[in-house]
Chains A and B, each alone.
Chain A
Amino acid sequence: MRLLTGNVSRTGEVVWWAGDRWSPDVADAVGLEPAEGEALLAREAVAEKVNDLALVEAEPGPDGRPRPRHIRERIRAFGPTVRPDLGRPGRDWR
């Protein structure tokens, strides 16, 4: 299972593909099968609204929702671990 992510071109904000839209909250992200993910990535790359598009490996989180497997992407999702005040409220990168 993978998640499609990138940064909004206009603002740089981290976003996750939420099925029918981009969301800044990884809790909204939907798990994608490889072929589906590749097709979405190709489509969104052409749209040029989100930069640095990537499909990242995901796993079920504590709440059962998919979350990034690698710490790098979890930090992207939740904010700098050393500044929890700047991260997503109520979220934990661990």
Chain B
Amino acid sequence: MYRYDAIDRALVDARVAEFRDQVARRLSGALDEDHFKPLRLKNGLYLQLHAYMLRVAIPYGTLSSRQLRMLAHVARRYDRGYGHFTTRQNIQYNWIRLEEAPDLLADLASVEMHAMQTSGNCIRNISADQYAGAAADEVADPRPWAELLRQWSTLHPEFSYLPRKFKIALTGSAADRAAIRFHDIGLQLVRGPDGALGFRVFVGGGMGRTPFVAPLIRDFLPAGAFLSYMEAILRVYNRFGRRDNIYKARIKILVHDLGAEEFARAVEAEHAHLRTLGIDAPEAEVERIAAFFADPPFETGLADAVEDGGDPAFAAWLARQVEPHRVPGYRIVNVSLKPAGGIPGDASAEQMEAVADLAERFSFDEVRVTHAQNLVLPHVRAADLRAVYEGLAAVGLAAANLGLASDVIACPGLDYCTLANARSIPVAMAVADRLRPREAELGELKIKVSGCINACGHHHAGHIGILGVDRKGTENYQLLLGGSGAEDASIAQILGPGFTADGVVDAVAKVTEVYLRERRSGERFLDTFRRIGAQPFKEAVYG
């Protein structure tokens, strides 16, 4: 993992001291709320329905055990004993007191964490494939490039007041586990014909009010031109992106209005200039950063087989939660934060500490956060899987539902969020409860629930998406089908008129019945929907 150098540490410590002073001035009345609000937002501190909410950045979803223990400490000391892992691989705390926020940030800084750039019109926390450095299908590790981006984008003066917020995701595999094509910039590491490392560059994806799948604007960007090209994209956006209308200010609107080809031409023209200025990181710096992500001391010659010992629950967990690792004798373990009766993405302080302990003992001290609101232990010996399973089961985290119907993504919704129009968590829990008895039969089924059009619950990318809206003061839910956030990215389409909360759960159940009736051998829900179209589903739901 990356470790802060003196520059990183000084920057974060100075920011904590600055915010401590700003909070003191706010509490004394020297700063009024109008002037203070943008300052607290620059430190990730929002005011939500019940209290202040702090969004803490987890760079490319990577945590050490020490950092996860600190997140547990924050939950216990400053919040109400839990935190909420988000669809951008961050964590949010819902019950923060302003007067305690500086101490909280100082505690985070002690483990090389902060909450900068988790709000505002800047480059937000960089997200990445949660299997980075472990995936059997990986071309190259995206973490060094994500870290390079983190350093480049942190307090970048030119990009601190963009037209709108800006999100970047990376993957090193052809299989997209980071939803890169729903980001402002999506980057896929590839090898060129001569074996050289480079990127496929997608720009202009996003969800929200106007969803787009990002088009490809550069088929092969040599790794040596990485930062200058990123700067060229941001510079074109900063110059031409709209600032007159918040709903048309994201880069996706600019790319759409110009067309991908014209946008790419503008970027190439800017890049022709920028690449001559020495912006790109020297090879030695890239290697310095990459060294932090060198392999842990994997053992060789380990037995690769895993015995389930005739335990059906352990066998189900192995089959669902455990993925191949690129090193023989190791596995990637997915930790579900969607237990029966649980709130998607929520984890108690005790659960965080238990996962941190397991990571320390069995996964070279590493934990990952996924955009699907789960956790990952990336490097577990096959021989240790039973111990990990038992450790997770002891804290209620041994659900075997990865990618199944009860592995629902949900934003905080109207239970917490001041932007929401409807509750998303209880709908997600009700859908999970309804489908859980048949989820093995249903197979891969990605259900995503948002409580408003801003789409933090990724409903546009759900095989089944649910969008909560306010209809004359009451909660109403639209049903969408056919989305995907993976390498076969697509935008879900609204099926028809909306439902009550109970009604949308019934509608989802009917939709799955159509799938079971119509599917062909080997088809996922999404495959069947794409083959037969929306009409049979409409007839079942509205007929």
Report B110-152 residues with CB < 8 Å from chain A CB: none
Q: Give chain B's interface residue range (CB within 8 Å of chain A).
A: 20 to 34
A12 close to B51 (CB less than 8 A): yes
B26 close to A9 (CB less than 8 A): yes
A13 close to B51 (CB less than 8 A): yes
Say whether chain A's binding surface is mostly helix, strand, loop, or mixed: loop
Q: A65: CB under 8 A from chain B?
A: no
Q: Which of A7, A11, A14, A75 makes the CB contact (< 8 A) with B415?
A: A75
A51 close to B33 (CB less than 8 A): yes
A48 close to B33 (CB less than 8 A): yes
Q: A86: CB under 8 A from chain B?
A: yes
Q: A72: CB under 8 A from chain B?
A: yes
The docked-state distance in angstroms from the alpha carbon of A83 to that of B474 is 21
B210 to chain A, nearest CB (A): 25
- Contacts known (A51-B33, A75-B415); A11 close to B51, Cβ less than 8 A: yes
Q: B364: CB under 8 A from chain A?
A: no
Contacts of B52 in A (CB 8 A): 12
A9 close to B33 (CB less than 8 A): yes
Report B373-431 residues with CB < 8 Å from chain A CB: 414-416, 420, 423, 425-426, 429
In the complex, per-residue mask of B77-100: 1 if CB is within 8 Å of any chain A CB, else 0: 000100000000000001111110
B47 close to A7 (CB less than 8 A): yes
Q: B29: CB under 8 A from chain A?
A: yes
Contacts of B80 in A (CB 8 A): 86
B32 close to A48 (CB less than 8 A): yes
B105 to chain A, nearest CB (A): 16
A51 to chain B, nearest CB (A): 5
A87 to chain B, nearest CB (A): 9
B33 close to A81 (CB less than 8 A): no
B475 close to A80 (CB less than 8 A): no
Contacts of B47 in A (CB 8 A): 7, 12, 51-52
The docked-state distance in angstroms from the alpha carbon of A48 to that of B414 is 26
Q: B264: CB under 8 A from chain A?
A: no
A80 close to B50 (CB less than 8 A): yes
Q: Closest chain B residue to A86 by CB distance?
A: B80
Contacts of B425 in A (CB 8 A): 80, 82
In the complex, per-residue mask of A45-83: 1 if CB is within 8 Å of any chain B CB, else 0: 000100110000000000000000111100110011111
A10 close to B98 (CB less than 8 A): yes
B426 close to A70 (CB less than 8 A): no
The docked-state distance in angstroms from the alpha carbon of A64 to that of B343 is 33
Contacts of B96 in A (CB 8 A): 12
- Contacts known (A10-B99, A48-B33, A71-B474); A82 close to B429, Cβ less than 8 A: yes
- Contacts known (A9-B33, A48-B33, A81-B426); A14 close to B414, Cβ less than 8 A: no
- Contacts known (A82-B415, A86-B80); A14 close to B50, Cβ less than 8 A: yes
Say whether chain B's binding surface is mostly helix, strand, loop, or mixed: mixed
Q: B303: CB under 8 A from chain A?
A: no
The docked-state distance in angstroms from the alpha carbon of A83 to that of B341 is 11
Q: Closest chain A residue to B421 by CB distance?
A: A72
Contacts of A79 in B (CB 8 A): 50
The docked-state distance in angstroms from the alpha carbon of A75 to that of B49 is 8
Contacts of B416 in A (CB 8 A): 80
Report B53-109 residues with CB < 8 Å from chain A CB: 80, 94-99
- Contacts known (A70-B473, A71-B414, A75-B415); A11 close to B33, Cβ less than 8 A: no
Contacts of B94 in A (CB 8 A): 80
Contacts of A86 in B (CB 8 A): 80, 95
In the complex, per-residue mask of B448-484: 1 if CB is within 8 Å of any chain A CB, else 0: 0000000000000000000000000111000000000
Q: Closest chain A residue to B32 by CB distance?
A: A48
The docked-state distance in angstroms from the alpha carbon of A5 to that of B52 is 16
Q: Which of A7, A70, A71 makes the CB contact (< 8 A) with B51?
A: A7
Which of B26, B47, B49, B473 is most buried by chain A, counting CB atoms within 10 A of its CB?
A: B49
4 additional A-B residue pairs with CB within 8 Å, beyond A12-B47, A14-B50, A48-B29: A12-B96, A79-B50, A80-B94, A81-B426
Give the 8 A-B CB pairs with smallest separation, nearest first: A12-B51, A12-B52, A80-B415, A11-B97, A82-B425, A76-B49, A10-B99, A51-B33
A to B CB contacts below 8 Å, 27 in the list: A7-B51, A9-B26, A9-B27, A10-B97, A10-B99, A11-B99, A12-B47, A12-B50, A14-B49, A14-B50, A14-B51, A48-B29, A51-B47, A70-B473, A71-B414, A71-B473, A72-B414, A72-B420, A75-B414, A80-B50, A80-B416, A81-B426, A82-B423, A82-B425, A82-B429, A86-B80, A86-B95
Interface, chain A (partner B; CB < 8 A)? 7, 9-14, 48, 51-52, 69-72, 75-76, 79-83, 86
Interface, chain B (partner A; CB < 8 A)? 26-27, 29, 32-33, 47, 49-52, 80, 94-99, 343, 414-416, 420, 423, 425-426, 429, 473-475
